[in-house]
């Protein structure tokens, strides 16, 4: 059996109480952070972000459609066969 003095006991008890207060504070901070990440405010931010992305893609689609309209067709060409000798080989 281990015995400690009354002063050591009181010191350990005070340290335990201080650590419990710190733990409670940290748990509250974790709860608030989780609430901030997953709460209604973050959902609103998510919707706002999705709306911005939609507008960005809409603008890109509009730009691409205008660009497609301006394209011109190139003249058709034929590809040289790899088996035919070039002029320098003849």
Output the DSSP codes for 28-50. Answer: HHHHHHHHHHHSHHHHHHHHHHH
pLDDT digits (tens, 9 = 90+) for 31-64: 888 887 776 666 666 777 777 778 777 777 777 7
Domain positions in the chain: 7-67
List, in order, residues 6 or more apart from 42 with CB less than 8 Å away: 36
pLDDT digits (tens, 9 = 90+) for 62-85: 777 776 665 556 666 666 666 656
pTM over 0.85: no
């Amino acid at each position: 059996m281990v015995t400690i003095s009354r002063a050591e006991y009181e010191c350990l008890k005070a340290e335990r109480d201080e650590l419990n207060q710190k733990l409670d504070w940290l748990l509250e901070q974790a709860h608030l952070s989780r609430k901030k990440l997953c709460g209604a405010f973050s959902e609103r931010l998510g919707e706002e972000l999705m709306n911005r992305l939609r507008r960005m893609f809409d603008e890109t689609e509009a730009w691409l459609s205008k660009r497609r309209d301006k394209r011109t067709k190139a003249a058709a060409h034929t590809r040289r066969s790899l088996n035919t000798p070039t002029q320098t080989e003849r």
